[in-house]
Chains A and B, each alone.
Chain A
Amino acid sequence: MAEAGRGASVSLTDLEKSYDRVAAVAGVSLDIRSGEFLTLLGPSGSGKTTTLMMIAGFETPTAGDIAIDAKSVVAMPPYRRNIGMVFQNYALFPHLTVAENIGFPLKQRGVAKAERAKLVSEALELVHLPGYGERYPRQLSGGQQQRVALARAIVFKPRLLLMDEPLGALDKQLRENLQLEMRRLHADLGITFIYVTHDQEEALTMSDRIAVMNEGVVAQVGRPEDLYDRPSSRFVAGFIGESNFLPAIVRGIEDDVVVAECDGALLRALCPGRPATGEKVMLTTRPERLRFTDGAWSSNAPQNRLSVTVTEAVFAGERCRYMLQAGDGTAMVLKEPSSAAIRRRAVGEQAEIAWSVADTILV
């Protein structure tokens, strides 16, 4: 990171928040590096927004500590923390113009009027809304309001920017454009972004690292590809992308590969721990990494194989999607790129599928 130091580092230690003895956040520890784009990803009620609100200072932790640049901020009111924040509904001041909205944080910091006008117009340039300063928020579209909220959050050059589902209310096309813009902005500013979303695709596209949250705790932290390829739990495997789950019984361990029996077949899976022989486990694999063995696909990598029956076949344009059933009744999904050269399967057909051991994870 060439410009390290422009972004704040944030460190959460055993952070907890309870409402009437119900824990919303139940012990979160997380180190966010300077200049990082970190996403808190989880279903609603997982504690991701509460965690963000505690970092911003709008909620007081029941226990634990929050340190920004190694300095505890738990006792500091929000208006002294110098953090930029974009709210889900933008929270633009309806009685102020766009320019006054963006100038608001500067005014609080005693920036002189001329300087303020200069910084505001610079911020408007940055979010591609030059000349919109005299309008009122209600005269703008949702996407434009979102940009104004973003401009207001960065105009005072904070070292940390928090965003609470900022794209949630926008349509898909606009959301995808703004995702790319946020990435670009993150690269330009070099400051730390903490982003909250329940949209796994958004998280995968934008983040340097993702912290997947569930029931008030962090289930797994890692780069998007780590989370996708090596989910550490059934929850993460199911929440990020689509997964097949195969119940199996451990039969042995070879080096760092677990051999487990599933529906009479011996399957091999990667596993960080060392489960005992005879233990009931769950193997997971991604639908797009399964192949029919009599198809055009072949690989020299070690493979798992399983006999299945096709129960449903859906042609979805760019790919075909098959619902499969193994002999023990386990349902699976297989996704195959569509090609006129690949024979399409019929419902009721018997087939053998294969996938590489590296794509099989024990969770």
Chain B
Amino acid sequence: MIMSGRDARGPKSLMPLLLAAPLLAFMLAFYALPVVTMLMRSVSDPVWSLSHYAALPDDTVFQKVFWNTLYTSVIVTVGALLLGYPVALALVRARRWAPLILILILLPFWTSVLVRSYAWMVLMGRHGLINETLLAAGLLEQPLRILNTPLATQIAMVHILLPYMILPIANALRQIDPSLARAASGLGATPWRTFRQVILPLSMPGVAAGVLLVFVLALGFYITPAMVGGPREITLSMLIAQQVDQLNWGYAATLSAILLATALTLIAACYRLPGIGTAFRMNTR
């Protein structure tokens, strides 16, 4: 029996690899190779040296941009979490309205980021919808400066990244056995305590996935901060684009390497966190 099982597994184990081979080849040629070549430039352009990296600790522009990028990502992630969790809960609890809520979440998701960023410019501009409405209502004397401020970037990015927070959380909530909430209630837990002691801890895998996804996406966001952000609130991706424009390939490649390393470090750290680690394991129970 064992022998025949091993025999059967031999040819079978190659199947997944064969099925993935076309995509694998495509990714190698058009993704891995360009990324590696690009990253190589951080040590090879204009000459082979580590001088780009060595200069970073004294590079005040880089440091300001780096911290600003991290700061923006944290604000956006926290904002998306606070706004997204209740929506995920509503999506799972609502029976009749669930399809409508899902469409409302996904509709912006299917719209181009460029279009949505333009829409925010229209809304938040000096003569945009928000200012015009508030002025007409007599609530403002002078138009507010919203566009081209950090707040504008944060609002627009939260909006664009919300689905990436809501969907993993909703997925985790959906996997919680409904009888657990009933059991908690039957054992004397008020609705709030049931949420706090049962639902919230069991949804942590979804929260972790959502937070990670939104944070990493926010780190590399380019279009939205470039369009609605302030002129002095530059993010890493904007700085990279600017350096490429000026043909500073080596410096741009160094910044890209830092961005990639930051994202990878965060992903690794997330899997190592004790709480979230057990949460991930629990989900695969």
- Residue B193 at the A interface, CB < 8 A? yes
- Residue A109 at the B interface, CB < 8 A? yes
Alpha-carbon distance between A89 and B179 when the two chains are bound, in angstroms: 8
Point out the residues of chain A lying under 8 angstroms from B214, CB to CB: none
Q: Decide: A95 and B202 in contact? CB cutoff 8 A.
A: yes
- Residue B198 at the A interface, CB < 8 A? yes
- Residue B145 at the A interface, CB < 8 A? no
Alpha-carbon distance between A87 and B182 when the two chains are bound, in angstroms: 9
Q: Decide: B182 and A95 in contact? CB cutoff 8 A.
A: no
The segment from B16-24, B113-121, B183-191, B226-234 found at the interface with A is B183-191
Point out the residues of chain A lying under 8 angstroms from B179, CB to CB: 87-89, 91
Alpha-carbon distance between A159 and B43 when the two chains are bound, in angstroms: 75
Q: Decide: A104 and B187 in contact? CB cutoff 8 A.
A: yes
The segment from A37-45, A77-85, A296-304 found at the interface with B is A77-85
Point out the residues of chain B lying under 8 angstroms from A95, CB to CB: 201-202, 278-279, 282
Mind listing 28 A-B residue pairs with CB under 8 Å?
A56-B182, A56-B186, A58-B182, A58-B185, A58-B186, A77-B185, A78-B185, A79-B186, A79-B190, A80-B188, A84-B186, A85-B183, A88-B179, A93-B180, A93-B184, A93-B198, A94-B202, A94-B285, A95-B201, A95-B202, A104-B189, A104-B197, A105-B187, A105-B188, A108-B190, A108-B193, A109-B188, A153-B187
Residues of B within 8 A of A (CB): 177, 179-180, 182-191, 193, 197-198, 201-202, 278-279, 282, 285
Partner of A83, one of B186, B279, B285: B186
The answer to whether A89 and B186 touch (CB under 8 A), given A94-B202, A94-B282, is: no
Alpha-carbon distance between A56 and B185 when the two chains are bound, in angstroms: 10
Point out the residues of chain A lying under 8 angstroms from B278, CB to CB: 95
- Residue A193 at the B interface, CB < 8 A? no
Instruction: Count how many chain A residues have C-beta atoms less than 8 Å from C-beta atoms of the other chain.
Output: 28
Point out the residues of chain A lying under 8 angstroms from B198, CB to CB: 93
Residues of A within 8 A of B (CB): 56-58, 77-85, 87-89, 91-95, 104-105, 108-109, 138, 152-153, 156
Alpha-carbon distance between A342 and B182 when the two chains are bound, in angstroms: 57
Point out the residues of chain B lying under 8 angstroms from A156, CB to CB: 187-188
Alpha-carbon distance between A108 and B196 when the two chains are bound, in angstroms: 12
Point out the residues of chain B lying under 8 angstroms from A108, CB to CB: 187-190, 193
Distance to closest chain A CB from B90 (angstroms): 21
Alpha-carbon distance between A310 and B157 when the two chains are bound, in angstroms: 83
Point out the residues of chain B lying under 8 angstroms from A94, CB to CB: 202, 282, 285
A78-B182, A95-B201 known; 18 new pairs, CB 8 Å cut-off, are: A56-B186, A79-B185, A79-B189, A81-B186, A84-B186, A88-B179, A91-B179, A91-B180, A93-B183, A93-B198, A93-B202, A104-B197, A105-B187, A108-B187, A108-B193, A109-B188, A138-B285, A156-B187
Point out the residues of chain B lying under 8 angstroms from A89, CB to CB: 177, 179
Q: Decide: B183 and A87 in contact? CB cutoff 8 A.
A: yes
Alpha-carbon distance between A109 and B190 when the two chains are bound, in angstroms: 11
The answer to whether A152 and B187 touch (CB under 8 A), given A95-B201, A95-B202, A108-B193, is: yes
